[in-house]
Structure 1
Amino acid sequence: MTGPQPVLSVQDLSIRFRMRDGAYVQAVSGARLDLAAGECLALVGESGCGKSVLASALLGLLPGNAETAGSAFIGDLDLLAADERTLARTVRGRRVGLVPQSPAAHLTPVRTVRSQLEETVRELTGVRRGPRLRAAAEEAAERAAFPAGHLDRHPHELSGGLAQRAATALALVGDAPLLLADEPTTGLDRDLVERTVDELRRHIGAERALLLITHDLAAAERIADRVAVMYASRIVELADTADFFGSPGPRHPYARGLLDALPEREFTPIPGMPPELGALPAGCAFAARCDRATGICGTRPALADGVACHHPATVPLEAPRA
């Protein structure tokens, strides 16, 4: 007997960009992940590892020089195979809500936040006019901790944090089955980070899922059920949050290095730099930075039992300092 169908199922997703000189940049390589209703999965990793490219693929927002392979199903719809008409009319906002990384580019600069919320409410909920429309827009703002006193301001009059909360409010309007939050805490202080991610978590309920793309490991630990670690285009570890941040801790040396770099832990940076996505090695992309590397690391490890490493850690990670 099989379980319920996942909200999102990504299988062997690869994305590369063809450059003008004919070379390719491999942004995502063979990504696999399932996201169940009621679940939050945090996708973490250094800048440039491919996290936001994966998110753009799910919304059909890749540039024209992108080439994709694999599949990404939401329900019975393969998002990678859907045409622009389908994506625009039935996916964006309705089946996938987006909290963008750059809200300034997502908000219309010549319209107030209120008018943009009301337009989104009309489009996605069927509430057309009058007090109900106004109330629905204000409720959406409140859900994202956006202050009512700023609703009649234009985006350029907002701080970065307020712009992020306005974009979050827009994403929550349609109650989409999948909420995709791409660095939703950028520019927010810690109290607002916690309030924002808590609201995103409340959005999940029993029937929805959240894919949280973030550099903020504290935010991931706070609300995620599982953590996927991405490095140099590849998912290298997938673990339950309690295991990842507690005991036994991460098993991939890179994932372990991410935690060791935190101020409340070892505060030790990972040596070296990640490889260029246009010149990825055939084997383990982390081998050049890894003190566990041996000759076998010249071959690419598969993601097996939640980790893509020939020499996964087995010793529990030291607990953070009090």
Structure 2
Amino acid sequence: MPGGGRVAAVTDAHFEVAAGECLALIGESGCGKSVLASALLGLLPANAQTAGEARLGALDLLAADERTLARTVRGRLVGLIPQSPAAHLTPVRRVRSQLAETVRALTGTRGRTALRAATDRAAERAAFPADHLDRHPHELSGGLAQRAATALALVGNAPLLLADEPTTGLDRDLVDHTVDELRRHVDGGAGRALLVITHDLTAAERIADRVAVMYAGRIVELADAAAFFGAPGPRHPYSRGLLQALPDRGFTPIPGLPPELGDLPAGCAFAPRCERATAVCAVPPALTDGTACHHPHRPEDHRA
């Protein structure tokens, strides 16, 4: 910030992702979702600071040094589908070369024939066309770059997969293929889990077991996915507004804009946009029973 101030991009993010589970983290752009994912892998800017714990088994990801993150965590314990896949691909190397290197490093596959076959299988898993494997990243569309990044992330069958907007640039059929493959990753091996960050609520409904909603750097709702997308529906007014903005649910946008993280209002950050706000909302609400709201919706508020 100007003047050397600091911005709390993510605050009080308390959640778990259990083995065999997919947690979908949703919310408008700029709310801190991708910052949280970057923090887990030690990919924040050098001047960023983290506090707290992020446990993966006995390992605290936030306390791990760069050597541990590079040699033990990234790709092996935690796979990442990045939000900007083209920026994570090496521009001067063909996709096949990058995928083969990852297959060799994470699976131990050796021999030209075996490595080529394993590389082809990895590409097929992410619906990346075989006839594009010998292209450079700049020759790929955004959707193809997304599929290349997905293929790379899936190679190691990591216990935890972080997928940051994994369906960006894909048409609906490829969105369904991608989320189904991510679901198979979770279901296909003991101890695997998935944290998917997405704006695509249709994809989230298809893949998630639970939903976490983030607003202005804080998680404001944690809910079972079936209850969230069905009955009784979301409890937080912001969460309900996200669903009501979908074309098949009313196409009604949430009024106003999210606040700047460096200039948050006192009390509930959503109050200036919320039709249910009252004077009590001047006090920040705690996350109680899965909802951080003084006036949450009740089951009887649900409308089919």
Give the TM-score category using the shorter length. over 0.9
| 3-state SS of paired residue (2:252) | coil
Where does 1:110-149 land on structure 2 (aligned, <5 Å)?
110-149=92-131
What one-letter code is carried by the residue in structure 1 that aligns with 2:231? S
- The answer for the alignment partner of 1:253 in structure 2 is 237
Confirm or deny that 1:172 pairs with 2:154.
yes
Distance 1:258 1:48 in 2: 15
- The answer for the alignment partner of 1:310 in structure 2 is 294
- The answer for the alignment partner of 1:266 in structure 2 is 250
What one-letter code is carried by the residue in structure 2 that aligns with 1:62? L
What one-letter code is carried by the residue in structure 1 that aligns with 2:177? R
Per mean C-alpha deviation after superposition, the further-off stretch among 295-304 and 123-132 is: 123-132
TM-score (norm 1): 0.92
What one-letter code is carried by the residue in structure 1 that aligns with 2:176? E
Distance 2:118 2:55 in 1: 31
Distance 2:77 2:84 in 1: 21
| 3-state SS of paired residue (1:312) | coil
| 3-state SS of paired residue (2:119) | helix
Distance 2:301 2:139 in 1: 49
| 3-state SS of paired residue (2:10) | strand
1:282 Cα offset (Å) = 3.3
- The answer for the alignment partner of 2:199 in structure 1 is 215
- The answer for the alignment partner of 1:46 in structure 2 is 28
| 3-state SS of paired residue (2:64) | coil
Distance 1:42 1:21 in 2: 36
| 3-state SS of paired residue (2:50) | strand
Distance 1:75 1:84 in 2: 18
Confirm or deny that 1:151 pairs with 2:133.
yes
Distance 1:167 1:38 in 2: 22
- The answer for the alignment partner of 1:61 in structure 2 is 43
What one-letter code is carried by the residue in structure 2 that aligns with 1:50? G
Residue from 93, 99, 107 that aligns with 2:75? 93
8 A contact 1:112–1:154 mirrored in 2: yes
The share of aligned pairs that are identical, in percent, is 78
| 3-state SS of paired residue (2:15) | strand
Gaps of 5+ in 1: 1-18
1:204 Cα offset (Å) = 0.6
What one-letter code is carried by the residue in structure 2 that aligns with 1:121? V
Instruction: Encode CA deviations 1:22-80: one digit per residue, 9 max, x unaligned.
Output: 21111101001101111000000000000000000000000012111111011111111
| 3-state SS of paired residue (1:68) | coil
Runs of 4+ in 1 over 2 A off after TM superposition: 315-319
8 A contact 1:247–1:316 mirrored in 2: no
What one-letter code is carried by the residue in structure 2 that aligns with 1:58? L
| 3-state SS of paired residue (1:42) | strand
- The answer for the alignment partner of 1:15 in structure 2 is none
- The answer for the alignment partner of 1:6 in structure 2 is none
Superposed CA RMSD: 1.0
8 A contact 1:228–1:239 mirrored in 2: yes
Confirm or deny that 1:289 pairs with 2:273.
yes
8 A contact 1:100–1:181 mirrored in 2: yes
Q: Which has the higher contact order (CA 8 A, sep 6+)?
A: 2
Confirm or deny that 1:102 pairs with 2:87.
no
Distance 1:123 1:147 in 2: 22
Distance 1:20 1:117 in 2: 42
Residue from 136, 143, 158 that aligns with 1:161? 143
Gaps of 5+ in 2: none
Distance 2:234 2:113 in 1: 51
**Which structure dedicates a bigger proportion of its chain to helix?**
2
Instruction: Encode CA deviations 1:221-240: one digit per residue, 9 max, x unaligned.
Output: 00100000000000000001
- The answer for the alignment partner of 1:76 in structure 2 is 58
